[in-house]
Amino acid sequence: MSEWITLTARTIDAPLLVPGLDPVRFVELSEHDIAALPVSAGRQPATLGDFFTVQGGRSARVRVEWSTDRIDGLGAGMTGGELEIDGDAGSLVGAGMRGGTLRVRGSVGDEAGAAMAGGLLRIDGDAGERVGANTAGAAKGMTGGEILVLGSAGAEAGARLRRGLIVVGADAGRDAGRAMIAGSLFVLGSCGEGAGRGSKRGSIVACGGVTVPPTYRYACTYQPPHVRMTLLYLVRRHGLTIDDALVESAFRRYCGDAGDPGKGEILERVHSV
């Protein structure tokens, strides 16, 4: 058994869909078996070995090297083990993942962690639109696990989030947390227009500025105990750099969105106390 299985990407000219790259599956696969796994290059069926040099086998730790934004679906549906991606990745990274740890040492395309149900997805760079959101037509977005985006995120981050934690280290685009059902979306930078629109429950923690929709109602200014706990958890567990001043901050609580049940909240940072 090798400690890490390495998939080194060759030059990839066209979009490539790599489904089913689940490290847990690789525990029973040899180097040859892994190279023979199917991928989709446009409409043409192909194998992983056509695009990657595979080294190692029979391990639940997989590293993809020289990855680019043309490779879609990396880690989608993974159930366990470790997957590291050196470089950027395309869309649907970690979509539907249910367990394990997926780390991208670069930026990713749209729908990263969409409909994710468990595990940890960590993106060191930026994420495209709809990180942790629902897949097209689905009622629920992410239902469990954690997504950390150290950079910024595009529009509709956490749309229809049902459960779990999404953290955006920089700014989030428009409609962050749209129609949230529950769960938490922490945005350490600023939120674009329309944050929390249509949400039923759930928390948007806006640490760097937010335009609260007029359909939300101000409740009070206080120090939410779960916010400081979560921020410290991010520092201690995931090594994020977060100012003590943010941990000690007060927040304005707004309840919404208008309608039933209206139990969502936007927590807007105001100042240090």
| 203 in contact with other proteins (CB under 8 A) | yes
Residue (12 or 247) nearer to other proteins, CB: 247
Minimum gap (Å) between residue 160 Cβ and other proteins: 17
Minimum gap (Å) between residue 14 Cβ and other proteins: 40
Query: Exactly one of 163, 178, 200, 269 binds other proteins (CB under 8 A); which one?
Result: 163
Closest CA to 116 of 88, 149, 67, 86: 149
Minimum gap (Å) between residue 186 Cβ and other proteins: 11
Query: Exactly one of 64, 78, 165, 168 binds other proteins (CB under 8 A); which one?
Result: 165
Query: Exactly one of 184, 190, 199, 249 binds other proteins (CB under 8 A); which one?
Result: 184
Window of 69-77, 86-94, 151-159, 160-168 that interacts with other proteins by CB under 8 A: 160-168
| 273 in contact with other proteins (CB under 8 A) | no
137 and 117 Cβ atoms separated by less than 8 Å: no
Distance CA 107, CA 169 (A): 13
- The residues in 41-60 that bind other proteins, with binding defined as CB under 8 A, are none
- 271 burial via Cβ count (<10 Å: 0-12, 13-18, 19+): exposed
Tokens of 130: 């709809």
Number of residues that bind other proteins (CB under 8 A): 23
Residue (19 or 144) nearer to other proteins, CB: 144
- 242 burial via Cβ count (<10 Å: 0-12, 13-18, 19+): middle
Cis bond upstream, residue 225 (ω within 30): no
- The residues in 209-268 that bind other proteins, with binding defined as CB under 8 A, are 220, 222-226, 228-230, 232-233, 237, 247, 263, 265
Which residues sit at the interface with other proteins, rule CB under 8 A?
Answer: 144, 163-165, 182, 184, 201, 203, 220, 222-226, 228-230, 232-233, 237, 247, 263, 265
